[in-house]
């Protein structure tokens, strides 16, 4: 799949406090524990302008997402970091009208199907709960002065991008960023690396993997920092990473 096609998959915003308004007495955890992680229902709070997935498409989406979860995360890991994945055809910010592909509220994910946003949003959750185990300063030291984070994912989506959007993918990746959205903030840069790591499109993109090994050492360093972070939090890395990028220590 081409870079353009892949990189168009996900836009995300994460500071959901602006987006989510609690309007009910809340969700009862016990009610959820016997259910699947995947839901097509509206959550207990009014948050976004959502378009429901048609009923006839729901089962295929459910099986796909559940398969993705089972492939990469143990039940123990999911029980620790995930409450529910709410899936919609369209997600739109009620206040500013911007469309995006995923967001989260604590350990509840809200994603647009299909796409890789489930892994991206879940990566935010396990980072939020383990911030001290990923060295933000060392990560940002990899960046050059030519590109500095513009502000936040929310601002990037709300304003339709930032001043780096005209850069080529080659320029971006030489500077250590997978795609333009990565330049919005450290948190998004990290989550996009996770999103790629779990993406089947990336895993099968031999050319991009070869380019990372030969032309994009900063990007490789970020991937390896994420691999080390995974080990610290007890998340087994996908097997292809060792073969593709070697040892990271």
Nearer to Zn ion, 83 or 117 (CB): 117
Binding mask 194-223 for Zn ion (x = CB under 5 A): ------------------------------
Least Cβ distance, residue 190 to Zn ion (angstroms)? 9
Least Cβ distance, residue 87 to Zn ion (angstroms)? 17
Q: Which of 10, 14, 69, 125 binds Zn ion (CB under 5 A)?
A: 14
Grouping H, G, I as helix, E, B as strand and the rest as coil, residue 204 is coil
- Reference 241, options 198, 201, 211; nearest CA is 198
Which residue(s) pair with 105 in the sheet?
108
Q: Which of 3, 7, 9, 12 binds Zn ion (CB under 5 A)?
A: 12
Name 212's Cβ contacts closer than 8 Å, sequence gap at least 6: 173, 219, 220, 223, 245
Instruction: Identify which range of 5-13, 53-61, 197-205, 231-239 contacts Zn ion by CB under 5 A.
Output: 5-13
What part of residues 99-158 is at the interface with Zn ion (CB under 5 A)?
Answer: 153
**Tokens for 61?**
């989406």
The angle at the Cα of 50, spanning 155 to 54, to the nearest 5 degrees, equals 140
Name 219's Cβ contacts closer than 8 Å, sequence gap at least 6: 173, 176, 177, 178, 212
Nearer to Zn ion, 11 or 205 (CB): 11
Q: Which of 134, 191, 197, 226 binds Zn ion (CB under 5 A)?
A: 191
Instruction: Identify which range of 22-30, 87-95, 109-117, 185-193 contacts Zn ion by CB under 5 A.
Output: 185-193
Instruction: Identify which range of 6-14, 93-101, 173-181, 196-204 contacts Zn ion by CB under 5 A.
Output: 6-14
**Tokens for 80?**
């620790």
Nearer to Zn ion, 69 or 193 (CB): 193
Least Cβ distance, residue 178 to Zn ion (angstroms)? 13
Q: What are the DSSP calls for 141-185, one per residue?
A: HTS-TT----S-HHHHHHTT--TTTTS-HHHHHHTT-SSGGGGG-
Residues that bind Zn ion (CB under 5 A): 12, 14, 153, 188, 191
């Amino acid at each position: 799949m081409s870079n353009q096609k892949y990189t168009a998959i996900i836009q995300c915003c994460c500071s959901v406090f602006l987006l989510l308004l609690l309007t009910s007495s809340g969700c009862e955890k016990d009610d959820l524990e016997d259910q699947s992680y995947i839901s097509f229902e509206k959550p207990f709070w009014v948050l976004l302008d959502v378009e429901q997935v048609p009923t006839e498409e729901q089962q295929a989406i459910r099986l796909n997402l559940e398969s993705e979860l089972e492939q990469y995360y143990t039940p123990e890991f999911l029980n620790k970091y995930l409450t529910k994945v709410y899936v919609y055809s369209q997600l739109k910010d009620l206040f500013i009208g911007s469309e995006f592909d995923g967001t989260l509220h604590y350990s509840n994910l809200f994603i647009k199907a299909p796409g890789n946003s489930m892994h991206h949003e879940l990566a935010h959750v396990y980072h939020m709960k383990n911030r001290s185990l990923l060295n933000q300063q060392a990560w940002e030291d990899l960046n050059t002065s030519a590109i500095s984070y513009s502000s936040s994912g929310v601002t990037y989506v709300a304003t339709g991008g930032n001043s780096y959007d005209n850069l080529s993918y080659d320029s971006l990746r030489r500077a250590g960023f997978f795609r333009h959205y990565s330049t919005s903030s450290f948190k998004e840069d990290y989550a996009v690396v996770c999103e790629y790591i779990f993406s089947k499109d990336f895993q099968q993109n031999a050319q991009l993997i070869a380019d990372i090994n030969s032309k994009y050492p900063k990007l490789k360093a970020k991937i390896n920092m994420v691999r080390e972070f995974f080990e610290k939090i007890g998340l087994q890395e996908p097997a292809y990473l060792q073969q593709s990028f070697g040892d990271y220590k």
